[in-house]
Amino acid sequence: MVTKKYTIRRLDDIRWEIPRVGGMRVPGLIFADELTLPEIEKDQSADQVYNVAHLPGIVGRSMAMPDVHWGYGFPIGGVAAFDMDEGIVSPGGVGYDINCGVRLGITNLYRETIAPEIRKIIDALFAQVPCGVGSRGGIKLNKKSMGEVLKTGAAWAVKQGFGDNAELDMIENRGVIHDADPNAASERAFERGKDQLGTLGSGNHFLEIGYIDEIFDETIARSWGLDLQRVTIMIHSGSRGFGYQICDEFLSRMVKTFHKEGIEVPDRQLACTKLKGALGKQYLAAMAGAANFAFANRQILMHLTGRAWQQAMNISPRDLGMRLLYDVCHNIAKIETHTVNGKPMKLCVHRKGATRSLPEGHPDLPPRYRPTGQPVLIPGDMGRASYILVGRQGAMDQTFGSACHGAGRLLSRSEAIKKTHGRSIDRELEARNIYPRWVGRKTLREECPEAYKDVSLVVDIVQRAGLAHKVARIRPLGVVKG
């Protein structure tokens, strides 16, 4: 048995601390309860919280959201903020799928209307929205148009006719991270991304049609246009091969240079560079471009989804009435100002498998959500439920304005394959009145519901911690998996 270099100390019912020891610069903080902590301790995610706490310039704590599980370098569900002068940026703290995120559309339809049509609708989405490993779409970019996508994000998609300008207000940062530099991306990244806009991707990416089956906050739900049985569409996708290539290349470069910068890390997967150095600035510029690619991608995906849906049901755009509730990213490093020890401080906040959760009145929110707080989208597995929450001040006070991004895996993909040997996951889902379509022989088995934590337990911890407040629950009706 490997002896741990740290201990985990209980602070209260849903907070657990890794006190500073050895080379840790800050404590670690894990959001969990007595039921979920043992699952976290089974993998290496707590070790990774401990490791991240060693990084130069880290401020506050190295944190893990309640959906935390083992990842590359940083845990998935990890949050860490770094001082702009002494701190670092780490591609492992962002992830390979830069600006993987979730977009939620609300329709004019109700469950009773579409339940008899769900197979037809899902089949249409599957046929018309490219998905799967290496999938290619109908949008072909040259160097000039790719540069415009990388600089302007979702606005580029709107300019091409995929949606309208009003939707930009419903996207985090209005769908663009500024200071992107297309020249920071390699020729190989361009080749991988040039025909992947408007594609879903593979693995845990999905399009899911659901309906609201429970309202927790009537006032906020009403102000957001949410009511019982209303049909929704949730889209989970990111920057595809373009973002993967950016991450891979900069990791390779930083592995060779971090020692030369005098940076010591407990794990080579935490390879990083100083924020104020040339390589750090170049990575942030390339990462911003990949984030903007992802914003444009989700903007296009929602438009393609609406068009396929209308054709399947032979209804007009007005009848469908799809509108964007919100679009949030959860693999990103963002320059933000937060209050630290009573003073405003500019920080680089890494959210890897974590999403922003801004409270009412926050200046970064669009006018529509400033009175209530930000919609926080937390999808679950394809067999149970997803949640809409609203940001709370507790997130600003504790987690640099962050909450969890989903349920979090319990089983690795290989473990899920073993556990589901001989089973027909599609038939099991259909027995729950959920109709799936998928690409890849093993996709449904890798993504089976029991491969994930129970999202209701995870969301409960988020609410008890004061990071966000439950507004509504969504049950799935049909899903397209990459």
Catalytic annotation present for 421: no
Residue type, 323: R
Asked if 207 contacts 125 with a C-beta cutoff of 8 angstroms, the reply is: yes
Residue type, 14: I
Give me the catalytic one of 69, 236, 405, 469. 405
Question: C-alpha angle with apex 355: 369 to 402, nearest 5 degrees?
Answer: 85
350, two tokens = 């890494």
Torsion sign across C-alpha atoms 190, 194, 199, 203: negative
Q: Rg of the chain over CA atoms, in angstroms?
A: 21
Q: Which residues are catalytic?
A: 405
